Amino acid sequence: MTLIRENEYKWYEKLAFNVIKCGPIPRHIAIIMDGNRRFAKTENIEKIEGHSRGFDKLSECLGWCLELGVKEVTAFAFSIENFKRSPEEVSALMDITKVKFQKLLEEKERLHENGVRIRILGNLALLPEELQQLMSEAMLMTEQNNNLFLNIAFAYTSREEITNAIQTICQEGGNLEEEDITEELVAQCLYTKDIKNPDLLIRTSGESRLSDFLMWQLSSTVLYFPKTFWPAITIWHLLYGIFCYQRSLLSISGYKTAIEQSSVKSQSGMSDRAKIFLHNVDMKRRDRLVRLSSAKHKGD
């Protein structure tokens, strides 16, 4: 499968996998795939080839994650800020993504066999129509799968995500009372609705910033910043990141449990008004995806 590579492992890599698997494995890993262009420069290749190698590395990394039993990966593929890059680079990135999604849709059987669910987090309306259609189709096609969750943050920033959630509440929450506006209600209006917070965040290339990525969701996440550029990342970086997670777990587990319990408490305490509002928001979101994905067939 092009999306999740079936990697071959050396005996010592398998051994390292088994050792790390003796400890808790993060359920959800978030990745900021940074350093593609600097990698391209060091390798004397075109910028866009650097991005292409970045995509290949994501496929390889998803193979490692599947092997290790990680259930969910969220990759930051395109920030809204990236629209400020040169039109040539933006357009080349859109083209790579389009080709990758076209291939992905052709691999329907393999995606179902592996139980892969794909979700795009971001403001789809900012993207070229064809990409919106392909992405909606991929999301709908895999919506029943539940073995490995791949979330691709595309045309995404946290500030836009939170602003969008507030707009949804203002536009569609006419029946809500002030006390209905809880953290849980806002969380359910984010692009990450129903997605558990990441346990581990990896940002490559030596930058130790969040760059407007999952700022609502990362409050109790372990952060790991390897210096290597994304396309050059190896299995050992991932294993070291997981080791950092295992080491930190003892000190943060109480905090994480407290957050999870408070979330469960506020969910169970949700008013009927809030539940109806969220149900309506869900229906509208899905209708929009169906409309976008079927728009493709009009031109066929």
Binding site for Mg ion (CB under 5 A): 34
Tell me which of ligand FPP, Mg ion, none is bound by residue 97, counting a contact when its beta carbon lies within the kind-specific cut-off of 5 to 8 angstroms: ligand FPP
Burial readout 143-157 (b: 16 or more C-beta within 10 A, e: otherwise):
eebeebbbbbbbbbb
Q: Which amino acid is at 91?
A: S
Binding flag, residue 205, ligand FPP (CB under 6 A): yes
Residues 136-175 close enough to bind ligand FPP by CB under 6 A: 152
Question: Among residues 62, 93, 134, 148, which one is catalytic?
Answer: 148
Give min distance, CB of 286 to ligand FPP, in A. 22
DSSP state of 215: T
Question: Among residues 28, 34, 104, 150, which one is catalytic?
Answer: 34
Binding flag, residue 96, ligand FPP (CB under 6 A): yes
Tell me which of ligand FPP, Mg ion, none is bound by residue 152, counting a contact when its beta carbon lies within the kind-specific cut-off of 5 to 8 angstroms: ligand FPP
DSSP codes joined into one string, 92-145: HHHHHHHHHHHHHHHTHHHHHHTTEEEEEES-GGGS-HHHHHHHHHHHHHTTT-
Give the helix, strand, coil percentages of the chain, each rounded to 5: 60, 10, 30
59 to 88: interface string for ligand FPP, x by CB under 6 A: ----------------x-xx---x------
Residue closest to ligand FPP (Cβ):
54
Binding flag, residue 190, ligand FPP (CB under 6 A): no
Nearer to Mg ion among residue 34 and residue 160 (C-beta)? 34
Question: Among residues 51, 150, 190, 289, which one is catalytic?
Answer: 51
Question: 97 CB contacts (<8 Å, ≥6 apart)?
Answer: 77, 78, 131, 154
Say whether 12 sits in a helix, a strand or coil.
Answer: helix
| CA distances (Å), origin 87, targets 31, 80, 125, 141, 180 | 25, 14, 18, 31, 43
Q: Distance between CA 58 and CA 281 in Å, rounded?
A: 32
DSSP codes joined into one string, 278-300: HHHHHHHHHHHHHHHHHHHHHT-
245 to 284: interface string for ligand FPP, x by CB under 6 A: ----------------------------------------
95 is catalytic: no
Binding flag, residue 36, ligand FPP (CB under 6 A): yes
51 is catalytic: yes
Name the site residues for ligand FPP (rule: CB under 6 A).
33-38, 51, 54-55, 58, 75, 77-78, 82, 96-97, 100, 152, 205
Q: Which residues are catalytic?
A: 34, 51, 148
